[in-house]
C-alpha cells in the first residue's frame, strides 16, 4: 500500500464544522406527535426506537435517548436500561418479523467514528442475513437494500406498539 502524505489536511480535520440550522433530528423525533411518518416505532420512558431513513440494511433501527447527550458516560442508569430494553425488544420483534440470521449492535461515537449526529448518541441495531452484502459497494460504490423503507416500517410497526412517551425526568 502506498501512502499519500497531506499534512495540510489536519487543519481541515480539526476545524469546527458548521451545524445544521434545523436543530437536532433526534430531539425533533422525541416529540409525542412524531410517529409513522417519521418512522418512529416504539417509545420507552427514557428512549425511543426509529427506523433508519438511510439504512445499512433493511430493518436498520436506531435506539435513541430522549435527552440530548453525546457521551456514554453522561447517560443515567435509567437511560441505559431503557436503551438496552428497547434494543432487546427490537431484536425479538425483528426475529419474529424479519427472521435475521444475526445482528450488528453498536454506537458510533464522534464524527470521526461515523456519527452523523455526534451530539446526540444513538445505538444501531442492524439485522443481518448470510449474503446480504455483495460486491456492489466495492465495485460500483452502491449499496443494495433488499426491502423498501415503507415495507420494513409496515412490518416492524405491526410488531412494535407505539406508546405515548412518559415525560423524561430532567437531570439537574
Q: Where are the domains of the chain?
A: 24-159
Q: Which CATH number is 24-159 given?
A: 3.30.428.10
Q: Sort residue 28 into left (φ over 0), alpha (ψ -120 to 50) or beta.
A: alpha
Mean pLDDT estimate for the chain: 78
Query: Over the stretch 26-73, which tens digit does the pLDDT of each residue have?
Result: 888 887 765 567 888 888 999 999 998 888 788 899 999 999 999 999
Q: What pLDDT score does 81 carry? A: 96
**pLDDT tens digits along 83-111:** 999 999 999 989 999 999 999 999 988 88
The predicted structure's pLDDT at residue 116: 76
Characterise 118 by phi-psi region: left (phi > 0), alpha (psi -120 to 50), beta (else): alpha
**Is 142 among the residues known to form the active site?**
no
3-state class of 170 per DSSP? coil
Catalytic residue among 120, 122, 124, 153: 122
Q: What values do phi and psi take at 65, rounded to 5? A: -70, 145
Say yes or no to pLDDT of 136 above 60.
Answer: no
Residue 90 confidence (pLDDT): 92
For the cut 60, the answer to whether the pLDDT of residue 16 exceeds it is: no
Higher per-residue confidence, 141 vs 116: 116
The whole-number average pLDDT for the span 68-83 is 95
Which cell numbers in the block locate residue 96? 419474529
Amino acid at each position: 500500500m502506498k501512502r499519500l502524505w497531506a499534512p495540510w489536511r489536519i487543519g481541515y480535520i480539526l476545524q469546527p464544522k458548521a451545524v445544521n440550522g434545523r436543530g437536532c433530528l433526534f430531539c425533533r423525533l422525541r416529540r409525542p406527535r412524531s410517529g409513522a411518518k417519521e418512522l418512529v416505532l416504539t417509545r420507552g420512558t427514557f428512549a425511543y426506537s426509529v427506523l433508519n431513513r438511510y439504512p445499512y440494511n433493511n430493518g436498520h433501527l436506531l435506539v435513541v435517548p430522549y435527552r440530548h447527550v453525546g457521551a456514554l458516560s453522561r447517560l443515567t442508569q435509567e437511560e441505559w436500561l431503557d436503551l438496552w430494553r428497547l434494543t432487546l425488544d427490537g431484536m425479538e420483534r425483528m426475529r419474529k418479523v424479519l427472521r435475521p440470521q444475526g445482528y450488528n449492535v453498536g454506537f458510533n461515537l464522534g464524527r470521526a467514528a461515523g456519527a452523523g449526529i455526534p451530539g446526540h448518541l444513538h445505538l444501531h441495531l442492524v439485522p443481518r442475513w448470510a449474503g446480504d452484502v455483495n460486491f456492489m459497494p466495492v465495485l460500483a460504490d452502491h449499496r443494495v437494500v433488499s426491502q423498501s423503507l415503507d415495507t420494513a416500517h409496515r412490518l416492524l410497526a405491526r410488531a412494535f406498539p407505539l406508546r405515548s412517551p412518559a415525560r423524561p425526568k430532567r437531570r439537574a
